Amino acid sequence: GYMVLPPELVEPFLRAKQLTDRHTASLDQAVFAHLIRDGHFERHIRRTRRRNQHRRDVLVAALKAAFGPAVAIEGAKAGLHLVVRFRDIPAALAGSVAEAAALRSVGIVPAETGMAGTEGGAGFLMGYAAVEEPDIRQGVALLREVVQSFRRGGVA
């Protein structure tokens, strides 16, 4: 990395860097340069993109199969997370739903911390990059049980 600084801050930043980091890791830089030069890094990026796209597709398909039109899926075109909004669960219950899901080892995070913009139902951030395909399907099945308990008015 590098920084563009006003002239009066160059010297203080150089001193701070010397105190925290004597030198840049030359071996790491040389290895990475080799990976880039020989095309290994580009192949790794392509392979990772394909794997993540497949995982995203599996998650979207599983959510649609489990919940149908009761969910709205946002952000399915890029990134490593989706926002999934459950139209029939009040946004005020998002924290409780996330806690109940966690008890079943399903990690979801409420998408909003306040009430603004939550009229579409409870929204959750769901990551998929570090989850294998069978675990995605199992997690959605477990989440379906949680969501059904909240639809019945109870708490899971």
- Convert the pLDDT of each residue in 44-53 to its tens digit: 999 999 999 9
Q: What is the pLDDT of residue 120?
A: 77
* pLDDT of 83 above 90: yes
User: 156 versus 77: which is more confidently predicted?
Assistant: 77
* Angle (CA) 130 71 112, round 5°: 70
The beta strand positions in 34-156, using DSSP E, are: 71-74, 81-86, 109-110, 122-127
Looking at the predicted structure, is the pLDDT value of residue 136 above 50?
yes
pTM for the structure as a whole: 0.76
Rounded average pLDDT over 10-20: 88
Work out the pLDDT band at 118, boundaries 50, 70, 90: low
119 — pLDDT class (breaks 50, 70, 90): low
* Weakest mean pLDDT among 30-34, 61-65, 74-78: 74-78
Strand 109-110 to 122-127 pairing:
antiparallel
Tell how far CA 77 is from the center of its chain.
Answer: 13
What tokens appear for 7 in the block? 């002239």
| Average pLDDT over every residue of 135-142 | 97
Mean pLDDT confidence for 20-33:
82
Decide which of 134 and 22 is more confident.
Answer: 134
Per-residue pLDDT, 156: 45
Structural contact between residues 63 and 102, judged by C-beta atoms closer than 8 angstroms: no
